[in-house]
DNA sequence: TCCGTATAGTTAGTATACTAACTATACGGA
DNA sequence: TCCGTATAGTTAGTATACTAACTATACGGA
């Protein structure tokens, strides 16, 4: 019984290992790899928003969940944790009283370069010995697996 | 910002999708994909145990955790759930009063062929359009990622 | 203008995955 | 024989990921 011939096991294990490695790297900062992914999404989305209207529709929990292919309770709870840790804050949406805009605090923004680097380090470690073509091919394979299951 | 160019996201998403797809397929049986993985491990290990001594050392929660590269609290809790659902039962280890042997009930064993097929179906769906060489290559890439992070 | 349907976000619950710490037991060396 | 160290399994807590259901709000068509 060779676990390393079972694709389901391999995908799951690779996911756990990359999360585990990044969690370790992020311990000092006090966030998890999943939280980093959320911070990263909000940061990059803020960067490309050119005006208030874009921010109002692209930085709601629903929009973030959609972009990250995650479900809204998960994003809602994770945002709550970031707010509690003063990494993010909520602003009411003037156009929709149900909705709110999620923005990053300065405390989070100053950490972005370091967090980007830590995440990059984990992925570089994960792909040690891979050529650029290997990494590209792996991404294509995983994209196709995801597409097949959507 | 293209999520599909981020390897960490792709690995995580592929893992979630395969789990999600198999969870859906297993809903009627009343177990989760993670529980299936545990049942599968116990079943295959029982199959290759030739005598009582092998069973005594290969079917403890600690041995299962090691083989599945999981941690013992996780296995302990999942075994508890399988026991509660009458899919598994515990037998005391006569050689070590701390230890116990985990075995599958008949209720679980009769489901094995169907569960094997459902798991196989998910992986076949995940790799639709892949040649045998593609699947082999993907497994090699993932094995290397895991090895790099261990 | 009203109301049925849809949506945003949350709450509650469940299932894993993990860390830390605990109790009970085993073991090997002095 | 004793005891310090190690191990097996569990408990407690935290973090995600998910489903189901809820409240509040929005919207579009009659």
* pLDDT at B53 exceeding the cut of 90: no
Residue of B nearest to A126 (CA): B145
pLDDT band at B2 (very low <50, low <70, confident <90, very high): confident
Predicted confidence (pLDDT) per residue in A3-14, tens digit:
778 999 999 999
Predicted confidence (pLDDT) per residue in B79-117, tens digit:
999 999 999 999 999 889 999 999 999 999 999 999 999
Q: In angstroms, rounded to a whole number, what is the distance separating the alpha carbons of residues A114 and A110?
A: 8
Average pLDDT, integer, range A67-90: 94
- Asked whether the beta carbons of A124 and A116 are under 8 A apart, the reply is no
What is the domain extent for residue A88? Answer: 3-149
Query: How many structural domains is chain A composed of?
Result: 1
Residue of B nearest to A69 (CA): B13
- B61 in a structural domain: yes
Tell me the pLDDT of chain B averaged across its residues.
93
Of the candidates B70, B63, B47, B50, the one whose C-alpha atom is nearest the C-alpha of residue B101 is B63
Report the complex ipTM: 0.91
Backbone dihedral angles phi then psi of residue B94, each to the nearest 5 degrees: -65, -20
Predicted confidence (pLDDT) per residue in A87-113, tens digit:
999 999 988 999 999 999 999 999 999
Strand D within 7 Å of which CB atoms in A 68-107? Answer: 70-71, 73-74, 77-78, 81, 95-98
- B130 in a structural domain: no
Q: What is the pLDDT of residue B4?
A: 76
Q: What's the gap in Å between the CA of A2 and the closest CA on chain B?
A: 10
- B16 in a structural domain: yes
* pLDDT at B3 exceeding the cut of 80: no
Q: What is the pLDDT of residue A43?
A: 95
- B140 in a structural domain: no
Tell me, what CATH number does A92's domain have?
1.10.10.10
């Amino acid at each position: 019984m060779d676990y390393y011939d079972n694709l389901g096991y391999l995908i799951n294990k690779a996911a756990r290992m990359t999360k585990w490695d990044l969690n370790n790297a992020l311990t000092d900062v006090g966030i998890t790899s999943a939280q980093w992914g959320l911070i990263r999404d909000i940061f990059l989305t803020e960067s490309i928003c050119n005006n208030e209207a874009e921010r109002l529709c692209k930085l709601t929990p629903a929009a973030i969940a959609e972009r990250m292919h995650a479900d809204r309770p998960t994003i809602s709870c994770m945002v709550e944790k970031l707010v509690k840790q003063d990494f993010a804050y909520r602003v009411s949406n003037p156009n929709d009283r149900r909705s709110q805009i999620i923005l990053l605090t300065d405390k989070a923004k100053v950490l972005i370069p370091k967090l980007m680097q830590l995440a990059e380090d984990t992925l570089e470690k994960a792909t040690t010995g891979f050529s650029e073509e290997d990494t590209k091919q792996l991404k294509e394979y995983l994209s196709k697996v995801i597409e097949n299951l959507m």
